[in-house]
Structure 1
Amino acid sequence: MIRGGKINKYLIVSGRVQGVGFRYSAAQKAKELQLSGWVRNKIDGTVELEVEGDENKINHYIDEMNAGFNQFIQVKDIKEITYQEKGYNNFSIK
């Protein structure tokens, strides 16, 4: 596990995460926390994203995601893989 500084996490989120504003909410929260990366829907009903930045901010971001970002989102599971920073400049919705 990479500790401290800037990291990249690849996440696959399952639950009620499509058609409920998840991607928009994920992008807004990432921008609020000054994180970069991307988010997109997958054909199997999950959402995948890469988020990059300060490790503590990413952990806070994942906690917020688990809480559901909004009342319509229900996160059941988040699978995550940690990588070294890749150098994204902003956060985009794909």
Structure 2
Amino acid sequence: MQTQKLIISGLVQGVGFRWSAAKVAQQLGVTGTVRNCSNGQVEVLATGDSHQLVDFQTQLNHGLAPWISVQAIDVTDLPLHHFNGFQIIA
């Protein structure tokens, strides 16, 4: 298990990105949080095994919805953190 911080840039606010990310995370068994940043990016904290996290990033990058446009995902490894489920932070 590992925890990563993902900073996602592109057309990711006001298009259902957080809701879609939470749905994918729950389907894959990834726990964590997702929130909008003041600079137009989205921050995701995600915990899962390496395969879950790779699948999660792939779906965030390519498979959420045609009106969501991810330009980049910057990934930082963090110390392991245990979350209770996956939550959207307002």
TM-score normalised by the shorter chain: which range applies?
over 0.9
Root-mean-square deviation (CA, aligned residues, Å) is 0.9
Question: Which of 56, 64, 67 lines up with 2:62 in the alignment?
Answer: 67
1:59 counterpart SS class: helix
CA distance in 2, matches of 1:61, 1:87: 17
Q: TM-score, normalised by structure 1?
A: 0.91
Tell me the secondary structure at the aligned position of residue 82 of structure 1: strand
CA distance in structure 2 between the partners assigned to 1:49 and 1:61 by the alignment? 11
Find the partner of 2:76 among 76, 81, 84.
81
In structure 2, the CA distance between the partners of 1:66 and 1:74, relative to structure 1 (3 Å rule), is same
Give the paired residue count: 89
For residues 47-85 of structure 1, give each alpha carbon's deviation from its aligned partner in whole angstroms, at most 9, with x where no partner exists.
Answer: 001010111111011011110411110000111101232
Q: Percent identity?
A: 37
Partner SS, residue 56 of structure 2:
helix
Instruction: State the 4+ residue runs in structure 1 displaced beyond 3 angstroms.
Output: none
